[in-house]
């Protein structure tokens, strides 16, 4: 994990194995998050075209993108707060806590799986 | 262990630059070798160490209580809503119950574990009943279920309900008054309809959530008593307890607060409640469930999907969770404060409020009068003989209203203030009220008059 983040910094390990400039990223929603998503989907696969191959897709940008594509109309406020997710929503990148991965500064790679779990409303 | 963790946390805190966080390069703080997978309060853990430490934390939470009371013949009820925390608690309890089975003299720790569940399908649609039972059967424990509408099941002895006639509290009223009348509860109106009417009749989402909590606590303690469980485990996470501290205080529940959020509290009816999940923040629970593949469901409330301003509970939750993101020790600091809270001495023998069944501070009205402008109440005993007679003979005079202000705690007065007239209170309210009347009738004379007389005699010599 750590090495791949560093790798993309140095430029040599940038995800190039996949098809040109297209990233395939799976977004998963649970713990009540699915209620904010269009058609209450729990899993959405995104194919994201990158215009410029040299700029990596950061988590911050990806969250804003999900807010437009996945989140149902009028519920964006319950997903996004100040360019990040709302407090109380856990973000898990490939089964690892995003706080370990650098939160908004994580660079997404091809075939990444990002899971959003809401812990709000107790349990 | 705690000291070392704290010092490491501080160290990490100092090293961390302000603003945005970067990917961590440190290994797990427990095994010092593996790549970390989760960050809890600035400490990083690998998956294995995290799950292990979550299990150890639960064991030590319950072992502390075990030292104080022998438990080999105690039955335990685990309250399961099906949500993340209670599902994790059941899993951890199952592990705890069987942890010593691996040893030579193997015996389960408690005499038995039962799951108690309150079915809320009457009020909430999309309720996943079968899934919740499946969570319990995963652990191989018996489940007992109560339905929310059970609170309206007629009492065979004297089938009556208290029906609110009118509620007026200061400042608009010269004197706080909660007048109720008795209504027959012969089962002609189904419990479901009464339950829906109860929630529909309350003034706000905050009140509805408050009432839902009261009903669930009542049903769970009753289930525990019926199943002969002395212990009831409630799944309140640290995050939840911190939010509850703020919301309950703001709703005027300070008097009974330690009973509602303390680590251990003895409720009326001889059931002791433990809250072993108080040491876990919601994030720990989410990751524990994720990595142990523990199933859970989403438990809806009245404000699910509503904005944060929908109720006091939602607002305080957003406040606490928001603070905790920027200052990761918020929840644990608040929880440590909660641990220091103790019941006031006079709360131990205070009469329970007829609605929430928790100790009610006498003279809630005096409190309210300090905050608002209203006329001084007329000196009169809390319970008139007329209403005592009324309760002993329901059928004769069930029409004339009577005042129950003295039997309601401050917070439940606020709860009922905005309720619609004609609202039928759950059956247990009448039962508790009847208990109060019996206690009052049994005492040799009216306490209030007795106290006044004693006082008068004490100062007699000094009177001019």
Q: What is the CATH number of the domain that holds A101?
A: 3.10.20.30
39-78 in B: which are within 8 Å (CB) of A? 39, 44, 47
Residue B17 has pLDDT above 50, yes or no: no
CA dihedral of residues B123, B125, B128, B130 (deg, nearest 10): 80
Q: Is residue B415 part of a domain?
A: yes
Sort out which chain B residues have CB atoms less than 8 A from A87's CB and list them.
318, 321-322, 324-325
pLDDT of A1: 34
Q: Which of A74-83, B98-107, B200-209, B303-312 shows the lowest per-residue confidence on average (mean pLDDT)?
A: B98-107
- Contact: B321, A121; criterion CB under 8 Å: no
- Contact: B39, A97; criterion CB under 8 Å: yes
pLDDT of A44: 94
Residue B346 has pLDDT above 50, yes or no: yes
Q: Which of A22-31, B308-317, B407-416, B455-464 shows the lowest per-residue confidence on average (mean pLDDT)?
A: B455-464
Q: Is residue A123 part of a domain?
A: no
Q: What is the domain count for chain A?
A: 1
Q: Which of A7-11, A56-60, A66-70, B38-42 shows the lowest per-residue confidence on average (mean pLDDT)?
A: A7-11
- Contact: A32, B298; criterion CB under 8 Å: yes
pLDDT of B101: 56
Q: What is the CATH number of the domain that holds B315?
A: 3.40.50.620
Nearest-Cα residue of chain A relative to residue B23: A102
- Contact: B37, A5; criterion CB under 8 Å: no
Q: What is the domain count for chain B?
A: 1
What band does B446 get if pLDDT is binned at 50, 70 and 90?
low
Is A101 near chain B, with CB under 8 Å? yes
Comparing A65 with A13, the larger pLDDT belongs to A65
User: What ipTM score was computed for the predicted complex, to two decimals?
Assistant: 0.83
The answer to whether A87 and B324 are in contact (CB under 8 A) is yes
Residue A5 has pLDDT above 70, yes or no: no
Angstroms from A4 CA to nearest CA on chain B:
11
Q: What is the residue-wise DSSP string for B274-299?
A: E-GGGG--HHHHHHHHHHTT------
Residue A66 has pLDDT above 60, yes or no: yes
Is B35 near chain A, with CB under 8 Å? yes
Q: Is residue A104 part of a domain?
A: yes
Query: CA–CA separation, B206 vs B148, rounded Å?
Result: 18
- Contact: A95, B37; criterion CB under 8 Å: yes
Sort out which chain B residues have CB atoms less than 8 A from A36's CB and list them.
305
Nearest-Cα residue of chain A relative to residue B44: A100
pLDDT of B379: 44
pLDDT of B374: 52
The answer to whether B208 and B197 are in contact (CB under 8 A) is no
- Contact: A100, B240; criterion CB under 8 Å: no
Residue A119 has pLDDT above 70, yes or no: yes
Contacts of A59 (CB under 8 A, 6+ apart): A91, A93, A98, A102, A103, A104, A105, A106, A107, A108
Comparing B265 with A19, the larger pLDDT belongs to B265
Q: pLDDT by residue (tens digit) across B265-291?
A: 888 778 999 999 999 999 999 999 999
% of chain B at pLDDT higher than 90: 41
pLDDT of B443: 67
Q: Is residue B81 part of a domain?
A: yes
pLDDT of A10: 39
Query: CA–CA separation, B175 vs B19, rounded Å?
Result: 54
Q: Which of A11-25, B220-234, B320-334 shows the lowest per-residue confidence on average (mean pLDDT)?
A: A11-25
**Mean pLDDT computed over B212-237:** 94
Angstroms from B159 CA to nearest CA on chain A:
35
Angstroms from A60 CA to nearest CA on chain B:
11
Q: Indicate the average pLDDT of chain B.
A: 82
Nearest-Cα residue of chain B relative to residue A106: B23
Q: pLDDT by residue (tens digit) across B362-396?
A: 877 777 777 665 555 554 444 444 454 544 554 44
Query: CA–CA separation, B50 vs B291, rounded Å?
Result: 9
Residue B16 has pLDDT above 80, yes or no: no
What band does B86 get if pLDDT is binned at 50, 70 and 90?
very high
pLDDT of A113: 95
- Contact: A123, B285; criterion CB under 8 Å: yes
B148: containing domain = 35-101+108-298+308-441
Q: Is residue B393 part of a domain?
A: yes
Angstroms from B233 CA to nearest CA on chain A:
14
A52: containing domain = 2-118
Angstroms from B240 CA to nearest CA on chain A:
6
């Amino acid at each position: 994990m750590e090495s791949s983040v560093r790798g993309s910094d140095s430029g040599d390990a940038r995800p190039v194995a996949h098809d040109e400039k297209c990233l395939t990223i799976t977004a998963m929603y649970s713990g009540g998050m699915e209620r904010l998503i269009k058609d209450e989907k729990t899993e959405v696969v995104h194919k994201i075209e990158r215009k410029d191959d040299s700029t990596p897709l950061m988590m911050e940008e990806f969250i804003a993108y999900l807010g437009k594509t996945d989140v149902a109309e009028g519920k964006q406020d319950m997903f996004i707060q100040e360019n990040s997710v709302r407090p109380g929503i856990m973000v898990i990148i490939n089964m690892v806590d995003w706080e370990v991965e650098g939160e908004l500064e994580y660079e997404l790679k091809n075939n990444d799986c990002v899971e959003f779990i809401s812990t709000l409303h107790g349990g | 262990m705690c000291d070392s963790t704290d010092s490491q946390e501080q160290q990490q805190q100092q090293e961390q630059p302000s603003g945005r966080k970067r990917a961590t390069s440190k290994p797990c703080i427990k095994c010092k070798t593996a790549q970390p997978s989760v960050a809890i309060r600035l400490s990083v853990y690998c998956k294995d160490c995290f799950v292990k430490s979550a299990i150890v934390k639960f064991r030590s939470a319950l072992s502390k209580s075990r030292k104080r009371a022998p438990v080999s013949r105690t039955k335990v009820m685990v309250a399961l809503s099906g949500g993340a925390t209670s599902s994790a608690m059941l899993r951890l309890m199952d592990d705890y119950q069987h942890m010593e089975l691996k040893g030579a003299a193997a015996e389960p720790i408690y005499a038995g574990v039962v799951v108690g569940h309150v079915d809320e399908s009457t009020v909430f649609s999309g309720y996943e009943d079968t899934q919740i039972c499946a969570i319990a059967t995963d652990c191989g424990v018996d489940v007992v279920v109560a339905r929310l509408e059970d609170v309206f099941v007629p009492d065979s002895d004297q089938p009556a309900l208290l029906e609110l006639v009118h509620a007026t509290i200061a400042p608009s009223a010269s004197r706080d008054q909660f007048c109720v009348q008795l209504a027959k509860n012969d089962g002609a109106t189904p419990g479901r309809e009464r339950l829906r009417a109860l929630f529909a009749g309350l003034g706000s989402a905050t009140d509805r959530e408050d009432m839902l909590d009261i009903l669930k606590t009542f049903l769970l303690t009753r289930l525990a008593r019926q199943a002969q469980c002395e212990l009831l485990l409630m799944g309140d996470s640290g995050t939840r307890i911190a939010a509850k501290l703020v919301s309950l205080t703001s709703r005027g529940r300070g008097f009974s607060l330690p009973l509602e959020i303390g680590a251990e509290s003895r409720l009326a009816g001889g059931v002791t409640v433990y809250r072993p999940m108080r040491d876990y923040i919601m994030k720990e629970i989410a990751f524990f469930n994720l990595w142990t593949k523990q199933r859970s469901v989403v438990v809806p409330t009245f404000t699910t999907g509503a904005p944060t301003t929908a109720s006091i509970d939602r607002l305080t939750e957003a406040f606490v969770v928001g603070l905790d993101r920027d200052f990761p020790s918020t929840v644990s600091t608040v929880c440590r404060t909660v641990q220091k809270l103790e019941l006031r001495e006079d709360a131990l023998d205070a009469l329970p409020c007829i609605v929430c069944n928790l100790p009610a501070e006498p003279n809630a009205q005096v409190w309210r009068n300090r905050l608002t402008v209203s006329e001084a109440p007329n000196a009169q005993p809390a319970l008139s003989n007329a209403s005592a007679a009324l309760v002993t003979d329901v059928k004769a005079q069930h029409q004339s209203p009577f005042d129950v202000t003295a039997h309601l705690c401050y917070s439940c007065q606020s709860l009922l203030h905005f309720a619609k007239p004609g609202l039928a209170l759950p059956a247990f309210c009448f039962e508790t009220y009847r208990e109060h009347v019996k206690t009052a009738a049994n005492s040799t004379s009216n306490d209030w008059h007795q106290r006044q007389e004693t006082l008068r005699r004490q100062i007699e010599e000094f009177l001019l």
